[in-house]
């Protein structure tokens, strides 16, 4: 037996419940006693046509547990003994592609195709498509006898599957394409008409069979129309002749009737015209009134949300005011407590000071007493010496006068110096007061900065801890390191904070800004790696972007309502500003107002900006790469959270410089005071010295008696001072004990005061926040109330207008009703009855004004009185026949037009159908004749019909001759033998193969009735025809083949093995079998 280039062993079914896959399952052993092995040879290479079968998978289907077949793109020869499951593959193809079970000739219910003993079976077909293969899965439920369909694993309906299959021109019900084993004999039983229809569907263009069906329908309609036209023409001619005899009398009767009818219509229309005039006026008033009413409704609806908002804001305001009052009360109480503590502390300080002063006084008094005693004794000694050495007092007056003059000059200089000291002291006090004021301002700025840091600590605790670490370790960095951006940014106006927070991401707002990569790595290593803090860090550009000018001047954008770029809304250190300009382009993003929002379309089209801000929205603009159109998206701005606290860093720096200047001035004043005090001290010493000299000279002038009196007085003073003694150590111990007790009480009061101050500060901050919120709410409420008052004023004006219009409408409506009632009475119509169509039609041709109607009524009454002596019965008969004639004429005209259209359609469709059909049959005949000639037989195919106009009688006639001594005979179920019919059928199908537009063809065991000679010839033709390039896929199923048949490299041979001793699928190894075969072949010569 010849060996083809590609062979595939069809795998035996496996009793596995897993989903089907491209690889046959080898994990679960077969539950069947006679199992088939699984082996796959490489698939022949070659292109699949659209709709070809790539894979067939079966589970619990007929003889199979699990089986997967991978056919080739050309001829597929499926070989196996009877009963092994060859025809089961054919059934799987048919049922898997939505074929009917009855077509297989095995069973009429799909449940019978499931393997016995199983409740469910599955068939899966994979079809080739250039856009992606189509996988159709059919699950069969035996109990319900139902099928569930899937396309590419997605559930679908059977109709969807049929549409997908039909789109690929697959017809499993067409014997010219799909010929199962049990239908081989029926092919010869096909009538000529049925064979033509099957051939058209199989290989003809998609429209060929449709044209044929249209021709049959058109021909049937044509016959019916011809008969109908003939009958109606004869009857119409009789009716016309009969009516001509009464035509003149009828015309006079109708002339009079026309006048009377016109009079009646005029009398009927006159009240309607009156009514219509008033109704139009009513409709005009009603339309204006409805417009005003709609305007009132819109205004009222517009006030509802405004009222609700005002009420909501009022509730919010009352809540805020209550909270503000509560905070004020708390602050007042806390302040009073602070004042009480301060008063107590001050009293304690005064008490301590009094004790210290009392002790100092006693110490001074004792010191002075001792000093006075010493001085007195010295003075007594001096007086005694002076008394002993008293000299002559003559010539002392000039010296006293000189000393007095010097003393006066020194005292004047001393007065001037003391005045300068007082001025310096006042200047010092003023500078110290200024220093305290500036220090308080700086503390308030620091408190605002603390608020920002508190927000950072509450929201991002890791970032806050990193800030504290940075402040303690700044010396570890080489270049400048900026704290998180939210701390370094200082808004110039709080209300603009929302633009910055919406523009800069929250990750960057809490990011540290570095100028050096090395510094950032040190920071991240310490903070992230060592301290495990989650922080963000960025590097400022090497080239500063902080002062980079925007691409467009702000003056150009002010016409659109823009008032600033984002960069001008805040202050920040140079690295931070440079980073934000580089990363977020804040120098290029303008900020607008509500005016910008109102003309946003113009802004987008004219400015071509990438990002813009209006009062409450952010717009991001992009230009389409393909259409060059501007695409915009807008989002509402979120409320600012972090940047609402503003710290004027420039003012703080100014205050620090002012503080330094004050300190410098204080140092200069202090230095001047020291110099003046030294000068004053020197003058005081000189004054004392002169006084002493003057005193000495004056005393030298006294007499001895004065000295003795003084000595006696001083001795008395010494006795008195020695008697007044004091124990200083005891007094000092008592004073220290009392001061210690007071200090303990004072420390406790200071602790309480500190806590109260902190509470008071927190309450003040909360109160300020509440006041700001209340101010915002009041502002919004005032605006809404103003809008509401304006809207209410407008509403009152429109409501008054509505009342006037409604009154006019009511008056006109009543008048319309009266006129309508009179008009209906004239026309004999009830209140609910509509105006008949004949009245409406007649009214259209009559005058539309009252004057014209009255004039025409007078004229028509005069004309109607001229006609007498007419018979109405003759007129009725004439009219009836006239109507019938007219109807017949119109109907006959329509029938003839319809008949002409059908004939035209038949001519056109016939030309499109018959010519291609003849060419197609001629091609089939040529190939069919060539096949028979190659077998030394004769055969032909022709298009047969008895009448060219009977399109339903057209058919394909096959005539064959297998012996030279006989004539060509038509292929019938009775004239030829079974083998001759099989050969004829096979050759006809082969003739269709190269013309076929279907993706594949299936022929099951058609060679069973052939003799060996014909079977060999037919096989050669099948191989040669099916293995050509650009031919459709071919499935040829047979239980046996002759020896030494020719094969093609493009064939795929599929063997179906079956038996109780077959290997398990997981043990089937084709390569191992081939190696074993080669070893046996090599060892045979040595034997």
| Bridge partners, residue 154, by sequence | 151
With residue 148 as reference, give the H or E element that holds it. strand 146-151
Q: How far apart are CA 932 and CA 785, in angstroms?
A: 104
What SS3 state is found at 108? Answer: coil
pLDDT at 632 over 60: yes
Across 458-462, 601-605, 798-802, 1071-1075, least confident range? 1071-1075
12 within 8 A of 31, measured Cβ to Cβ:
no
Look at residues 5, 44, 11 and name the one whose alpha carbon lies nearest to residue 25.
Answer: 11
C-alpha span between 854 and 133 (Å, rounded): 84
The residue count of the chain comes to 1087
Helices 978-993 and 872-934, packing angle to 10 deg: 100
Q: Which pLDDT belongs to residue 757?
A: 87
| DSSP-derived secondary structure letter, 111 | G
Residue 672 pLDDT greater than 70, yes or no: yes
Average pLDDT over residues 891-912: 73
Angle between helices 1012-1026 and 978-993 (to 10 degrees): 10
Per-residue pLDDT band at 660 (split at 50, 70, 90): confident
The pLDDT of residue 11 is 42
Helices and strands (H and E) in the chain: how many = 25, 26
For residue 217, what are its two tokens?
């329908």
> What is the rounded distance in angstroms from the CA atom of residue 787 to the CA atom of residue 789?
6
pLDDT value, residue 123: 93
Spatial distance between the Cα atoms of 602 and 378, rounded to a whole number of angstroms: 108
* Tokens (6 digits) for 410: 């020194």
Q: What is the pLDDT of residues 675-713, one digit of tens each?
A: 888 888 888 888 888 888 877 777 666 555 677 777 788
Residue 590: pLDDT band (50, 70, 90) is: very high
DSSP state letter for 540: -
Residue 58 and residue 88 in contact, taking contact as beta carbons nearer than 8 Å: yes
Percent of the chain with pLDDT over 70: 80
Rg (alpha carbons) of the chain, rounded to whole number: 62
Ranges 101-105, 284-288, 659-663, 715-719: which has the least confidence: 101-105
Name the H helices within 460-619: 461-472, 485-488, 497-503, 506-509, 517-524, 554-557, 574-584, 594-598, 600-607
Instruction: Compute the distance between CA of residue 657 and CA of residue 409 in angstroms, rounded to an integer.
Output: 45
Instruction: Tell me if 679 sits within 8 A of 415, measured CB to CB.
Output: no
Tell me the CA distances in angstroms from 649 to 545, 653, 1086, one per residue in order: 21, 6, 108
pLDDT one-digit tens code per residue, 419-438 = 888 888 888 888 888 887 87
Please write the tens of the pLDDT for every residue from 1000-1028.
878 776 666 576 776 777 777 778 777 87
| Position 727 pLDDT exceeds 60 | yes
What proportions of the chain, in percent to the nearest 5, are helix, strand and coil? Answer: 65, 10, 25
Backbone angles phi, psi at 150, to 5 degrees: -140, 140
Residue 940 has pLDDT above 60, yes or no: yes
Question: What are the backbone angles phi and psi of residue 961, rounded to the nearest 5°?
Answer: -150, 115
Under 8 Å between Cβ of 434 and 669: no
* Predicted confidence (pLDDT) at residue 1060 exceeds the cutoff of 80: no
Write out pLDDT tens, residues 788-805.
Answer: 888 888 888 888 888 888
Distances (CA, A) of 232 to 224, 277, 879, 895, 896: 13, 51, 19, 10, 11
Taking residues 351-380, what's their average pLDDT?
Answer: 81
Q: How far apart are CA 69 and CA 73, in angstroms?
A: 13
- Residues 440-459 have a mean pLDDT of 73
Q: State how far the Cα of 174 lies from the Cα of 187, in Å rounded to an integer.
A: 10
The whole-angstrom separation of Cα 340 and Cα 362 is 33
Residue 5 has pLDDT above 50, yes or no: no
Across 521-525, 830-834, 952-956, least confident range: 830-834
Beta bridge partners of residue 481, listed in sequence order: 514
- Sheet-wide strand order for 53-61: 64-69, 53-61, 120-127, 134-141, 146-151, 154-156
What rounded mean pLDDT belongs to the chain? 78
To the nearest 10 degrees (0 to 180), the angle between helices 397-459 and 649-700 is 160
* Neighbour tally for 754: CB within 10 Å: 12
Cβ partners under 8 Å of residue 305, min gap 6: none
Per-residue pLDDT band at 1065 (split at 50, 70, 90): low
251: number of CA atoms within 13 Å, CB side?
A: 6
- Cβ-Cβ contacts under 8 Å for 102 (sequence gap 6 or more): 108
Residue with the two structure tokens 């301060």: 342
Question: pLDDT tens digit string along 305-354?
Answer: 888 888 888 888 888 888 888 888 888 888 888 888 888 888 888 888 88
Instruction: Give the percent of the chain with pLDDT over 90.
Output: 8
Alpha carbon distance 795, 788 (integer Å): 10
The answer to whether residues 841 and 269 touch, using CB atoms and an 8 Å cutoff, is no
**Could you say which DSSP state residue 528 is in?**
I
What kind and span of H or E run contains 66?
strand 64-69
Q: Are 202 and 996 in contact (CB under 8 A)?
A: yes
CA pair distance 1001, 1033, nearest whole angstrom: 6
Q: Which of the pair, 272 or 543, is modelled with greater confidence? A: 543
Q: At a CB cut-off of 8 Å and minimum separation 6, what does 130 contact?
A: 50
Closest CA to 321 of 992, 838, 718, 773: 773
∠ CA(32), CA(35), CA(39), 5° rounding? 145
Which has more pLDDT, 403 or 391? 403
| The pLDDT of residue 1 | 33
The whole-angstrom separation of Cα 774 and Cα 1014 is 108
CA distance 939 to 941: 7
Structure tokens of 901?
A: 């259209």
Q: For 6-56, what is each residue's pLDDT tens digit?
A: 444 444 433 333 333 333 332 322 333 333 333 333 343 357 888 889 999
Query: Does position 152 have pLDDT exceeding 60, yes or no?
Result: yes
928-949: average pLDDT: 74
Tokens of 372: 């006075």
Which one has a higher pLDDT value, 983 or 307? Answer: 307
Q: Is 792 strand, coil or helix?
A: helix
pLDDT above 70: residue 494 = yes
Q: What is the dihedral of CA 1046, 1049, 1050, 1056, to 10 degrees?
A: 70
- Which stretch of 516-520, 565-569, 914-918 has the lowest confidence by average pLDDT? 914-918
**In sequence order, what DSSP letters do the residues of 851-890 get, joined into one string?**
HHHHHHHHHHHHHHTT-----HHHHHHHHHHHHHHHHHHH
Band (pLDDT 50/70/90 cuts) for residue 919 is confident
Report in angstroms the alpha-carbon separations of 779 from 641, 689, 739: 21, 79, 58
Lowest mean pLDDT among 222-226, 553-557, 805-809, 856-860: 222-226
Cβ-based neighbours of 348, under 8 Å, separated by 6 or more: 742, 743, 745, 746, 749
Query: From its phi and psi, is residue 180 left (phi > 0), alpha (psi between -120 and 50) or beta?
Result: beta
Task: Report whether pLDDT(851) > 60.
Answer: yes
pLDDT of residue 978: 67
Contact (CB, 8 A) for 1001 and 178:
yes
Contact (CB, 8 A) for 212 and 198: no
- The average pLDDT across 416-420 equals 86
**What does the pLDDT read at residue 415?**
84
Backbone angles phi, psi at 148, to 5 degrees: -115, 130
In this structure, what are the phi and psi dihedrals at residue 538, rounded to the nearest 5 degrees? -135, 165
Q: How many Å from the N-terminal Cα to the C-terminal Cα in the chain?
A: 25
Confidence of residue 589 (pLDDT cuts 50, 70, 90): very high
Decide if pLDDT at 2 tops 70. Answer: no
pLDDT computed for residue 580 by the predictor:
93
pLDDT at 45: 39
User: Which residues face 622 on adjacent strands?
Assistant: 631
Task: State the CB neighbour count (10 A cutoff) for residue 662.
Answer: 20
Beta bridge partners of 955: 944
Strands 39-40 and 64-69: unpaired
pLDDT greater at residue 654 or residue 749: 749
**In contact, 932 and 987? CB cutoff 8 Å:** yes
The CB density around residue 1022, as the number of other CB atoms within 10 Å, is 23
Largest CA distance in the chain: 204
């Amino acid at each position: 037996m010849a060996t083809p280039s590609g062979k595939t062993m069809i795998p035996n079914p496996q009793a596995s419940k897993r989903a089907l896959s491209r690889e046959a399952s080898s994990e679960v052993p077969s539950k069947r006693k006679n199992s088939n092995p699984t082996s796959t040879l490489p698939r022949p290479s070659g292109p699949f046509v659209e709709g070809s079968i790539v894979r067939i998978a079966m589970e619990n289907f007929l003889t199979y547990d699990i089986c997967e077949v991978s056919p080739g793109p050309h001829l597929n020869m499926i070989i196996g003994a009877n009963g092994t499951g060859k025809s089961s593959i054919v059934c799987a193809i048919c049922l898997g592609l939505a074929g009917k079970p009855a077509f297989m000739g095995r069973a009429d219910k799909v449940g019978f195709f499931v393997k016995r003993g199983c409740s469910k079976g599955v068939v899966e077909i994979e079809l080739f498509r250039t856009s992606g293969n189509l996988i159709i899965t059919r699950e069969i439920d035996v109990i319900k006898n139902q099928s569930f369909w899937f396309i590419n694993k997605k559930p679908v309906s059977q109709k969807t599957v049929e549409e997908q299959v039909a789109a690929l021109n697959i017809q499993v019900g067409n014997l010219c394409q799909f010929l199962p084993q049990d239908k081989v004999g029926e092919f010869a039983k096909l009538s000529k008409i049925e064979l033509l229809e099957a051939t058209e569907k199989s290989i003809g263009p998609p429209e060929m069979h449709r044209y044929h069906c249209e021709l049959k329908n058109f021909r049937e309609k044509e016959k019916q129309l011809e008969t109908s036209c003939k009958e109606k023409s004869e009857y119409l001619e009789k009716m016309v002749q009969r009516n001509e005899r009464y035509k003149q009398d009828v015309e006079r009767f109708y002339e009079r009737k026309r006048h009377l009818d016109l009079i009646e219509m005029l009398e009927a229309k006159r009240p309607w015209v009156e009514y219509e005039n008033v109704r139009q006026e009513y409709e005009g008033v009603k339309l204006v009134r409805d417009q005003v009413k709609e305007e009132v409704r819109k205004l009222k609806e517009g006030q509802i949300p405004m009222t609700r908002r005002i009420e909501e804001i009022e509730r919010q305001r009352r809540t805020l005011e209550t909270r503000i009052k509560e905070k004020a009360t708390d602050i007042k109480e806390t302040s009073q407590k602070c004042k009480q503590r301060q008063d107590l502390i001050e009293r304690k300080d005064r008490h301590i000071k009094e004790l210290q002063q009392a002790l100092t006084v006693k110490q001074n008094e004792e010191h002075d007493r001792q000093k006075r005693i010493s001085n007195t004794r010295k003075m007594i000694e001096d007086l005694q010496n002076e008394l002993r050495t008293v000299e002559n007092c003559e010539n002392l007056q000039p010296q006293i006068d000189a000393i007095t003059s010097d003393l006066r000059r020194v005292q004047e200089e001393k007065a001037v110096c003391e005045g300068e000291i007082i001025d310096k002291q006042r200047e010092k006090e003023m500078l110290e007061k200024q220093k305290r004021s500036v220090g308080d301002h700086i503390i308030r700025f620091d408190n605002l900065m603390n608020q920002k840091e508190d927000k950072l600590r509450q929201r991002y605790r890791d970032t806050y801890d990193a800030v504290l670490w940075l402040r303690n370790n700044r010396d570890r960095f080489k270049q400048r390191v900026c704290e998180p951006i939210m701390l370094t940014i200082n808004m110039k106006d709080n209300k603009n904070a929302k633009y910055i927070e919406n523009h800069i991401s929250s990750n960057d707002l809490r990011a540290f800004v570095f100028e050096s990569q090395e510094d950032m790595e040190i920071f991240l290593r310490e903070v992230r790696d060592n301290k495990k803090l989650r922080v963000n860090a960025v590097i400022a550009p090497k080239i500063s972007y902080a002062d980079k000018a925007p691409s467009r001047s702000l003056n150009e954008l002010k016409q659109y309502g823009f008032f600033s770029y984002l960069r001008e809304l805040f202050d920040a250190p140079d690295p931070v500003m440079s980073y934000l300009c580089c990363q977020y382009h804040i120098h290029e993003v303008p900020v607008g107002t509500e005016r910008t929002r109102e003309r946003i379309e113009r802004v987008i089209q004219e400015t071509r900006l990438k990002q813009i801000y209006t009062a409450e929205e952010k717009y991001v603009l992009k230009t389409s790469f393909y259409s060059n159109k501007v695409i915009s998206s807008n989002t509402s701005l979120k409320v600012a959270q972090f940047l609402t606290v503003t710290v004027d860093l420039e003012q703080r720096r100014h205050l620090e410089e002012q503080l330094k200047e004050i300190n410098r001035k204080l140092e200069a004043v202090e230095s001047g005071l020291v110099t003046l005090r030294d000068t004053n001290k020197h003058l005081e010493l000189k004054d004392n010295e002169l006084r002493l000299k003057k005193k000495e000279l004056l005393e030298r002038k006294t007499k001895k008696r004065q000295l003795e009196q003084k000595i006696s007085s001083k001795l008395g003073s010494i006795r008195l001072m020695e008697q007044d003694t004091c124990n200083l150590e005891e007094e000092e111990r008592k004073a220290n004990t009392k001061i210690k007790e007071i200090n303990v009480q004072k420390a406790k009061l200071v602790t309480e005061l500190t806590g109260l101050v902190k509470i008071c500060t927190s309450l003040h901050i909360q109160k300020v926040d509440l006041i700001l919120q209340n101010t915002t709410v009041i502002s919004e409420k005032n605006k809404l109330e103003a809008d509401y008052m304006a809207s209410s004023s407008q509403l009152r004006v429109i409501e008054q207008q509505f009342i006037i219009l409604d009154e006019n409408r009511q008056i006109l409506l009543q008048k319309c009703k009266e006129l309508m009632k009179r008009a209906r009475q004239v026309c004999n119509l009830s209140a609910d009855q509509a105006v008949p169509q004949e009245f409406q039609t007649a009214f259209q041709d009559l005058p539309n004004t009252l004057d014209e109607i009255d004039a025409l009524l007078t004229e028509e009454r005069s004309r109607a009185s001229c006609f007498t002596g007419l018979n109405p019965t003759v007129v009725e008969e004439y009219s009836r026949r006239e109507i019938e004639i007219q109807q017949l004429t119109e109907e006959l005209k329509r029938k003839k037009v319809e008949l002409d259209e059908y004939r035209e359609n038949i001519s056109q469709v016939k030309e499109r159908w018959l010519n291609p059909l003849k060419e197609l049959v001629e091609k089939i005949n040529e190939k069919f004749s060539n096949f028979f000639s190659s077998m030394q037989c004769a055969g032909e195919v022709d298009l047969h019909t008895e009448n060219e106009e009977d399109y339903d009688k057209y058919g394909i006639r096959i005539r064959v001759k297998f012996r030279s001594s006989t004539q060509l005979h038509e292929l019938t179920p009775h004239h030829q033998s079974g083998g001759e019919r099989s050969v004829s059928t096979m050759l006809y199908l082969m003739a269709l193969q190269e013309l076929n537009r279907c993706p594949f063809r299936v022929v099951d065991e058609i060679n069973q009735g052939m003799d060996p000679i014909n079977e060999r010839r037919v096989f050669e033709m099948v191989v040669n025809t099916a293995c050509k390039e650009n031919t459709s896929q071919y499935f040829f199923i047979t239980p046996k083949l002759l020896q030494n048949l020719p094969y093609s490299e493009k064939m795929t041979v599929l063997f179906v093995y079956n038996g109780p001793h077959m290997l398990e699928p997981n043990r089937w190894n084709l390569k191992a079998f081939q190696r074993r075969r080669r070893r046996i072949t090599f060892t045979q010569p040595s034997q």
